[in-house]
Amino acid sequence: MKRMIPVLIALLLIIFIGGGLFAKFYFDRYSYSMERADIKEYYGINDGEYAVIFGDERIDYVARMKGGEIYLPLDMIHEYLSEIFYEDENEGLLLYTDAYDTVAAGFDSEVFSDASGEQKAGYTICFKEGDVLYVASDYAAKYCGRTPAVYEYRIHYVTPDESGERATVAKKSAIRKLGGVKSPVLEDVDKGDNVRILERMEEWSKVITDDAMIGYIENKHLNESLTENLAEAVDTSTAPEYPSISYPGRINLSFHAIGGAGGNDTLLDELNNAPGVNIVVPTWVSLTDNEGNVRNFASSAYVNAAHAKGAQVWLCADDFNYRNETKTEIDEMYVLSHTSIRRNLVNNIISAAESSGADGINIDFESVTQEMGVHYVQFLRELSVACRSRSLILSVDNYVPMNFNDYYRLDIQGEILDYVIIMGYDEHGRWSNDAGSVASLDYVANGLDRTLLEVPKEKVINALPLYMMQWKTEGSDVSGQYITMNNLYELLGRLSATKEWDETTGQNYVEWTSGNALYQMWIEDEESISAKLNVMRAREIAGAGTWRLGYGIPNIWKLLEIYTNS
């Protein structure tokens, strides 16, 4: 027996050690870690920085605290709150342009100014750090209506889509960084606290707390899902409304190319040859320099003559005619990106319209690059304010929308402008490497459909070409010559070729050879214009435009008149 005692002791010791090891293993694996996460490290922020929670999601922007105020990166404001804020880094200004006014604040200033004069915010409105402009959240809230809740190391913007499964906490517990008892604790929660469930898994759920902490909690620590007695998120965001001026009826607009003051004298002859045109757009104003000055052929006698014929006049201002005629170098980016110069340009255009008595303004800026896009949109915003206060109709010409020219921002134009004109032509032109139609039926239809995704139909005007291209292909050389509709039939009369209807383009097609050259034309005539008008009629847009007076023939003007009055 005495010899068994050491054996028993050894066995007991083994059992004790094994039990201890098992207990330690069990504790290590299944006990709840009390380790606290470093919240700044969790958010990847430094002192004075705040993570941004938008709705139920952490977004990739960091806010700043300065002087007791929360500041937001302007890029974040653009993406999540309002695109209307505009930064002029050349003149150190932050602008906000609504339907009736532009509010301006200087960098590092507590003062902002609007139509009523200067006002003091009581805090620095914005400041630049590196390439980032930071804007006070309270200042942004004045215009976009959303104010963030501020918590430790994070701010939270409530959004109206914060719905879904909700629950209360069943017992005191913890929100953890990941699902698992060993994951560090982000925040403690008490019995009865509310959480919204973002993702429910088998044993854990991803949740967001009332103070916008996003993490994981065990399902067994949650009561049954509920929705009652939990306030639904309310949309507090605001956006300005832009009242529009509408022409009373369907529009039959035609551009009038004015190469000099003497060109104004041709108006009556042109309108007499184009019965039914109810809006004429003379190319009167053109940008001339880097200071926003313009050349101006506007004439009150012209406007009076048009009114006597029952037509409105929308003064056209462009960015290319003077430059092309005089070979003057103009830095359009410089013009559009400087607020003082942009305002001078707006004032000069408005002055030309007011002095002549024009009914509206048409902007035809065809040299805008992607880099200029945001500044061009700001120009349109500021011009729209000036036009709205004077009851001037504002329309803007645009290329057929494609991915590569979306910086013209038809969506914003559709909000702030009275009419958006699509230049439904130049599918092929002199710059093209291959012969083709100037405006095939699908090109027009698809362009309108893309436009109508972003612009209300009652604001859309489609401009039609009263011209076409005569293509010459000789070997690998392709060249084109413009042929106006009123010269078409004289040309066809001299040819032995026969035109044939092309279903693909919705146009008559003709080709002929001369020597080693192949000539081709996709013709704009009564049949092609009629097909395009049917496309436009089916989409119930505001009306038609034409480039230009002097190019049409009686049958075309009759078709347009019927379209206008139908």
DSSP code per residue over 300-364:
HHHHHHHHHTT-EEEEEEESSHHHHHHT----HHHHHH-HHHHHHHHHHHHHHHHHHT-SEEEEE
Tokens of 272: 């007499």
Tokens of 330: 């103009």
pLDDT value of position 483: 97
Task: Sort strands 543-547 and 460-465 into parallel, antiparallel or unpaired.
Answer: parallel
Mean pLDDT of 102-108: 98
Task: Identify the band that residue 18 occupies on the pLDDT scale cut at 50, 70 and 90.
Answer: low
pLDDT digits (tens, 9 = 90+) for 171-196: 999 999 999 999 999 999 999 999 99
CATH of domain 41-157: 3.30.457.10
Task: Identify the band that residue 10 occupies on the pLDDT scale cut at 50, 70 and 90.
Answer: low
Look up the pTM and report it: 0.93
Tokens of 297: 């052929």
Mean pLDDT of 535-564: 98
Strand partners, 62: 51
Query: HSE on the CB side for 197, CA within 13 Å?
Result: 21
Please give the Cα distance from 356 to 347 (Å, whole number). 14
41-157 and 166-221 have identical folds: no
- Sorted by where each begins, the domain ranges of the chain are 41-157, 166-221, 251-466+524-565
Please give the Cα distance from 487 to 69 (Å, whole number). 69
CB 125 within 8 A of CB 109: yes
Best CATH choice for the domain 251-466+524-565 from the list 3.20.20.80, 1.10.357.10, 3.20.20.120, 3.40.50.300: 3.20.20.80
Mean pLDDT of 540-566: 97
Phi, psi (degrees; rounded to nearest 5) at 387: -70, -45
Side by side, which strands form the sheet with 85-88?
85-88, 93-97, 102-106, 111-114, 117-120
Task: Identify the band that residue 232 occupies on the pLDDT scale cut at 50, 70 and 90.
Answer: low
Best CATH choice for the domain 166-221 from the list 2.40.10.10, 2.30.30.40, 3.90.1150.10, 1.20.1330.10: 2.30.30.40
Using DSSP, state whether 157 is helix, strand or coil: strand
CB 545 within 8 A of CB 536: no
Please give the Cα distance from 425 to 440 (Å, whole number). 8
Query: HSE on the CB side for 489, CA within 13 Å?
Result: 8
